[in-house]
Amino acid sequence: AGTGYYLRELERQVPVSAVVALDISKFALRRAAKLLPDALCLVWDVWRPLPVVDESVDLLINIFAPRNPDEFARVCREGGVLIVVTPLPQHLQEISDVAGLLNIRSGKDDDVAAALTPDFTLAASRSVEFPMTLTPEDVQNIAAMGPAGHHGASVRMDTLPERLRVTAAFTVQTFHRRRKEDSEKSTPVR
């Protein structure tokens, strides 16, 4: 869920009966809880069993975050939807050095699909790219979010232009939960 930004947009645009927001960061979730007063916001490690009963979820969204394919498959009802957004190599490329961002390898979306397709089918995949104009403060915030931020590194604001044009580039993949009998997971031979 991060800070709840995308869940809030979702709530605005589609009727939702119940929202569960998970993130390992209590700081992110505090912000999410303020944005999403009706949601259940839980500090949770996605690698643990998810706090949701089997086949109870209509829609899962996972944006620039780790995925637990087996747990996503367990909680998603048959025919339910999983939306995964992953960055493309050119995402924020113009500032990756200055902000200490990790290089994004190509083919990440293919790896995501390969990990999910035993239980999900890929229904649609769309690459999106657009320019953004950032202020020095935006760039500093991005640096603080990245690995360099953990080591206390910061970008010198006075070395940055007033306005920096950078690329946003990511893939949006939509998956449908397969019927259990159609799962591609091999069943043990007895």
Ligand X SMILES: C[S@@+](CC[C@H](N)C(=O)[O-])C[C@H]1O[C@@H](n2cnc3c(N)ncnc32)[C@H](O)[C@@H]1O
* Residue 5 touches ligand X, criterion: CB under 6 A: yes
* Residue 35 touches ligand X, criterion: CB under 6 A: no
Give the span between the Cα atoms of 126 and 155, in whole angstroms. Answer: 33
SS3 readout for the chain: CCCCHHHHHHHHHCCCCCCEEEECCHHHHHHHHHHCCCCEEEECCCCCCCCCCCCCEEEEEEECCCCCHHHHHHHEEEEEEEEEEEECCCCCHHHCCCCCCCCCCCCHHHHHHHHHCCCEEEEEEEEEEEEEEECHHHHHHHHHHCHHHHCCCCCCHHHCCCCEEEEEEEEEEEEEECCHHHCCCCCCCC
* Residue 98 touches ligand X, criterion: CB under 6 A: no
By CB under 6 A, which span of 23-31, 50-58, 108-116, 180-188 interacts with ligand X?
A: 23-31
* Residue 107 touches ligand X, criterion: CB under 6 A: no
Burial of 1 (0-12, 13-18, 19+ CB in 10 A): buried
By CB under 6 A, which span of 42-50, 102-110, 124-132, 153-161 interacts with ligand X?
A: 42-50
Q: Which is nearer to ligand X, 24 or 52 (CB)?
A: 24
By CB under 6 A, which span of 62-70, 97-105, 135-143, 148-156 interacts with ligand X?
A: 62-70
Q: Which is nearer to ligand X, 85 or 113 (CB)?
A: 85
- Print the binding letters for residues 63-92 with ligand X: x by CB under 6 A, - otherwise: xxxx--------------------------
By CB under 6 A, which span of 3-11, 49-57, 94-102, 104-112 interacts with ligand X?
A: 3-11
* Residue 45 touches ligand X, criterion: CB under 6 A: yes
Q: Which is nearer to ligand X, 25 or 56 (CB)?
A: 25
Q: In this chain, which residue has its C-beta nearest to ligand X?
A: 2
* Residue 24 touches ligand X, criterion: CB under 6 A: yes
Largest CA distance in the chain: 68
Site residues (CB under 6 A) for ligand X?
Answer: 2-3, 5-6, 23-25, 28, 45-47, 63-66
